[in-house]
Structure 1
């Protein structure tokens, strides 16, 4: 694995380990979903349920791929080894979570996400607000709106691409 992908996977692991116990488990995904739904005020909506379902589907796919010892927990080594495989299947395993997250942040269902809503969701995930804002600015056109295609392209690049290091997609979850 290249150094840049390793850094990105390390960052992603630290965000997914919501309770900070050094492993990723179902509880971490439940905690993160709850934080995001609370921050976006979508706890009891269809959008919120879809996001929570997508979060748990991502957990199940990751566990199936990464939990080599079958203990229901994923350590850093298991995570690194499995994330490449999950990345190959991004569209079916990971993509639905990002799509649900986009729709959650698209409060008026116009197909666009503004800076404030983007920052709200990323901050709930654990990205510092200033870094989330800088990411948004790097991903969007001068009109200051994010499309689902822009987010999906950026997310796929985050999981898969090694070069170039300075692109906004590599900073999707804040500084590395």
Structure 2
């Protein structure tokens, strides 16, 4: 069992609350359909391949959770079920990697390997993160002079977010309240 830092538990709780898109206190397949729709709407400029990849990544996220955690078959996942699993790299790592690659690629519709701040903000708002925290995260990723980050930087940042043993990472800015 990997040691889970408090920061990682807070990151998992935030993800759970955001993925609970219908606000009923548990995760179910409908939450992932709602989230997929929101993200696709924000990614209107992305090509069909990128849209298909994020749709598949959200679907895999849900099916992995359901297969691993819905032991009683009720179709819902509670926070207590979610937290230890989603932060287990051995059990959930491949799903996180697929999600990270798909989401970061969605932010690069022109295929130049760079993500501009407006699209990054739009995608992260579609997921439900607070705008001030999104900007703090983008700044932590060290944008270039044209206010862009690399696709790889974002993908690594997503993977780090789900790492149970990491603290002081860029993704912690999504959990901490930031002044606007």
**What TM-score bracket applies, with the shorter chain setting the length?**
0.7 to 0.9
Task: Please report how far the alpha carbon of residue 60 of structure 1 lies from its aligned counterpart in structure 2 after TM superposition.
Answer: 0.7
**Is 1:20 matched with 2:23?**
yes
- What is the aligned partner in structure 1 of residue 38 from structure 2? 35
- What is the aligned partner in structure 2 of residue 175 from structure 1? 176
Secondary structure in 2 aligned to 1:160?
coil
Task: Please report how far the alpha carbon of residue 163 of structure 1 lies from its aligned counterpart in structure 2 after TM superposition.
Answer: 4.3
Query: Is 2:46–2:106's contact at 8 Å kept on the other side of the alignment?
Result: no
Between the two proteins, the alignment pairs up a number of residues equal to 173
Runs of 5+ unmatched residues, structure 2:
none
**Is 1:88 matched with 2:101?**
no
User: After superposition, what is the alpha-carbon deviation per residue over 1:25-48, rounded to whole angstroms, capped at 9, x for unaligned?
Assistant: 110001000001112215983321
Alignment TM-score, normalising by the size of structure 1: 0.87
Q: Which of 115, 123, 126 does residue 124 from structure 1 map onto?
A: 126
CA distance in 2, matches of 1:132, 1:140: 13
Q: Which of 102, 113, 116 does residue 114 from structure 1 map onto?
A: 116
- What is the aligned partner in structure 1 of residue 151 from structure 2? 148
CA distance in 2, matches of 1:73, 1:20: 13
C-alpha RMSD over aligned residues? 2.1
**Is 1:102 matched with 2:71?**
no
Runs of 5+ unmatched residues, structure 1:
none
Bigger relative contact order, structure 1 or 2, given CA contacts below 8 A and separation 6+? 2
**Is 1:10 matched with 2:44?**
no
Secondary structure in 2 aligned to 1:94?
helix
Secondary structure in 2 aligned to 1:53?
helix
Query: Is 1:132–1:174's contact at 8 Å kept on the other side of the alignment?
Result: no
More divergent stretch after superposition (39-48 vs 145-154): 39-48
CA distance in 2, matches of 1:161, 1:92: 15
Alignment TM-score, normalising by the size of structure 2: 0.85
CA distance in 1, matches of 2:86, 2:60: 15
CA distance in 2, matches of 1:63, 1:141: 37
